[in-house]
Amino acid sequence: MKNPILKALLLILLALLSHNYFYGQSYKIIYEMTWKPSKDSTDYEKELMSLVTNEKEPSYFQSYDKFRYDSLKTKLVKDYMENGGESLRFPNETNQSKYRTFITKDVLNNTISAENKFYTSVFLTKYKCQFKWKINNTQSQNILGYKTYNATTSFGGRNWTAWYTTDIPIPDGPYKFYGLPGLILKISDSSGDYDFEIKGITKEKNDISRRAFSYKKAVELTPKQWTDFWKKYKKQPSMILENLNTTHTTYVINGKDVNSREVKDEYDKKEWEIINNFENPIELTPTCD
């Protein structure tokens, strides 16, 4: 190309296109979360988690089983509506995951949303959260074929060590963690109670936009209101079943009215089993406002 100005403009255009192509990619990352259910426990629990993230939109983090359910649900709802369906109902979810919080991160605005669903009730809490990282680029290790660097931070009453890669310059990671100059592939707390480590990563588009189809409208709680609610819920989970029935609707579980003592006792028993999986919580103390 003889025209040097035209050649320079073409090179700039190609650079911009390649930059936008990379940042337009959507990644699905699978992490294995390993944790100690209680401080005195000698055994560890494990569960696969999913993070769907890119540079332009809020990311979301949830259990991998729930992610697959939400993806299928979205497809079914869209297909049904496109074929002229007018009403569609889903049974109450029987989520087998131990970890049930759905986390959305808007890293550009330092905003995190945590959604929790109990039977038919949905609660949403929004946080302003910024991490203060200490980066040590002199330490590195290879994880899943990526060269990673070391960074540390304090969060939720724990000290954490993260390994991130600049090969994927998306400032995101598992759970609520974000803010490094690359994707977090592994992060652990100093006590050995919690560890998140990448198990797989793919470039793909995922759609769970109809995951909340048929949900009740979420009740927004401040961080303090959520903390107070959670303390009460842990004592008696069946409190969530109170006042569900109306003159037009009666809720049943296994064919029995939710107001029956038998149903409430069974609900408490199942919920306590799940709650006890996190008797030793990820966050020992509140960090985000």
- Residue pair 234/251 in contact (Cβ under 8 Å)? The answer is no
pLDDT class for 3, splitting at 50, 70, 90? low
The pLDDT tens digits for 186-227 are 999 999 999 999 999 999 888 888 888 878 899 999 999 999
Positive or negative, the Cα torsion across 223, 226, 38, 61? Answer: negative
Q: Is the pLDDT confidence value at 56 over 70?
A: yes
Phi, psi of 68 (to 5 degrees): -65, -40
Q: Is the pLDDT confidence value at 9 over 70?
A: no
- The enclosing H or E element of 265 equals helix 261-275
> Taking the CA atoms of the chain, what radius of gyration do you get in angstroms?
22
Report long-range pairs for 47-50 (Cβ below 8 Å, ≥24 apart): 47/97, 47/98, 47/99, 48/199, 49/99, 49/174, 49/196
Percent of the chain past pLDDT 90, that is, above it, reads 61
Q: Is the pLDDT confidence value at 47 over 90?
A: yes
pTM attached to this predicted model = 0.86
Tokens of 230: 């959670």
Q: Is the pLDDT confidence value at 169 over 60?
A: yes
Phi, psi of 197 (to 5 degrees): -140, 135
- What is the residue extent of each domain of the chain? 25-221
Quote the Cα angle for 67-68-73, to 5°. 95
User: What does the alpha-carbon distance between residue 164 and residue 172 come to, in Å, rounded to a whole number?
Assistant: 9
Q: Is the pLDDT confidence value at 160 over 70?
A: yes
Strand 121-128 with 219-221, pairing:
parallel
Mean residue pLDDT of the chain comes to 87
The correct CATH number of 25-221 out of 2.50.20.10, 1.10.3720.10, 3.40.50.740, 3.30.2350.10 is: 2.50.20.10
The pLDDT tens digits for 83-93 are 776 667 666 66
The pLDDT tens digits for 223-280 are 999 999 999 999 999 999 987 776 666 777 777 888 889 989 999 999 999 999 999 9
Strands (E), 144-251: 146-155, 158-165, 183-189, 194-203, 219-221
Beta bridge partners of 47: 33
